Amino acid sequence: MATPPEPGMPRHARDEKIITTLEEIADLLRGIAEHGPCRPTSPQGSGSAADPYDDTTSARQRPRRNNPQLTRRERQVLDILITGASNRAISRRLGIAERTVKNNLYMVYRKLGVSGRAEAIAWVLNSHGSAPRHRR
């Protein structure tokens, strides 16, 4: 992934690095949406890396759920999560403790059958076609 912009860089160079990084993240999310999560595998025989999307790996994968039963709060946390907000930003917006956000996210990940933020975002985008609109 691209390195973070450095403080002394000209603004246009920093913007270029940010755009490049965002494009790489978008590519990763598209890959997750298409192929599912990347599962690490050990390199095979000739020293070349194995295909991380190979379905023959023995890594345990949680079953993905089509209609998980999320609580109202879990849905709120997920809706804010897909905007790219941090746990701290989510906690401030909902007026709850950051630890409560972490607990809600843990339950959301389990119910969706995903292992993290990027997979949860990909699940939402894949299941809805686009991000849901937020009411304020």
Beta carbons of 41 and 133 less than 8 angstroms apart? no
pLDDT tens for each residue of 81-136: 999 999 999 999 999 999 999 999 999 999 999 999 999 999 888 876 555 544 44
pLDDT in tens, 38-84: 554 444 444 444 444 444 433 345 555 666 889 999 999 999 999 99
Q: Are 124 and 47 in contact (CB under 8 A)?
A: no
Strand partners, 44: 48
What is the pLDDT, as a whole number, of residue 18?
79
How would DSSP label each residue in 39-98? -----BTTTBPPPTT-TT-----PPP-SS----HHHHHHHHHHTTT--HHHHHHHHTS-H
CA-to-CA distance for 63 and 7, rounded, in angstroms?
43
d(CA 130, CA 106) in angstroms, rounded, equals 23
